[in-house]
Structure 1
Amino acid sequence: MTKAMLPSNMNSLKYMKAEDLYKCIKNNHKTVYNLKAYSLYDATSTIDIEKDEPIYVIDVRGSDFIGGHIKGCINIPYKDLRTMNTETGNYDNIDDFINKYLKDKTNVNVLFHCAMSQQRGPSAALLISRLLQEPKYKDFIEKSNVNIMVLYKGFINWQQEYGNDSEVTEDYNKYIWG
């Protein structure tokens, strides 16, 4: 895996294509060989991802989660993700996610998406990335390699391509999305 740099703004986000995620899910939520994440703004900027690294798909849709989702995804609505605990100043939902899925792992890939991956998905990816750059996660980031990515064109594109494939899409309702 290319040593990833955590994105710090929208232009530095990397995107994964639906067809690549499809292959990863078919590979038991592990990356497939020769996988790359791409920048929308710099064609020469990619992340090389090695084979068989875990990939976590984070669906940040809220009420629009109904009618189908990517198999094995973790649904954390964006409004819940960005809620700060006013007493502690922490983002408890993000801390819980990091501690449950990322801590004590190396070479981890996290893919965010919403309906179209234009606002909530990229914003969630940046929020997590920025929090991972805080001092409390310094040791974790130094020993781990975490790729933060966004699903290109989001769930709307995904369901058009793979909505009817029950091996990769769960609870799909074509009448909602069709």
Structure 2
Amino acid sequence: MIKATPEAAAKEFAVVDVRSDDFVGGNIVDCVNSPAETFHVDVDGLVKKLDGVPKVIFHCALSQQRGPKSARQKKAQEVYVLRDGFTGFQQKFRNDPALVEKFNKKYHD
């Protein structure tokens, strides 16, 4: 499922979350969810949706496998991998609704 906000092209960066079943329980606000299992099929659509966004930041739960692997498949923009993935991000920012939405502690502690 690829969803991008209409304002995506006006942003300096976009965050792509490649988690699938583990996406439930919280995510970075305004991220694009593109599960790693189908990423190779959806990558062209993702490139089109994020056209004009100069930097794309990929992550999965820990950014050790799915996030980096997906980032390697994306060549159009400047690409980054979020260190420590969503697990590290939510540990620091889960109480900030401007950065994390739909957080459910039972999925992460």
State the identity %: 37
TM, length-normalised to structure 1: 0.53
Question: Which residue of the partner structure matches residue 113 of structure 1?
Answer: 59
TM, length-normalised to structure 2: 0.85
1:74 corresponds to which letter in structure 2?
A: V
Deviations 1:80-107 (A, max 9, x none): 1124xxxxxxxxx1111111212xx2x6
Question: Which residue of the partner structure matches residue 81 of structure 1?
Answer: 39
Q: How many pairs are equivalent?
A: 101
Distance 1:122 1:112 in 2: 7
Question: Which residue of the partner structure matches residue 9 of structure 1?
Answer: none
Greater RCO (Cα-Cα under 8 Å, separation 6 or more) = 2
Structure 1, unaligned runs of 5 or more: 1-28, 30-51, 84-92, 133-145
Distance 1:170 1:108 in 2: 24
Question: Which residue of the partner structure matches residue 150 of structure 1?
Answer: 81
Q: Report the RMSD for the aligned CA atoms in angstroms.
A: 1.8
1:115 corresponds to which letter in structure 2?
A: A
Aligned 1:57-68 pairs, distance under 5 A: 57-68=15-26
CA contact (8 A) 1:163 1:174 kept: no
2:13 corresponds to which letter in structure 1?
A: I
CA contact (8 A) 1:78 1:124 kept: yes
Structure 2, unaligned runs of 5 or more: 1-7
Distance 1:176 1:149 in 2: 25
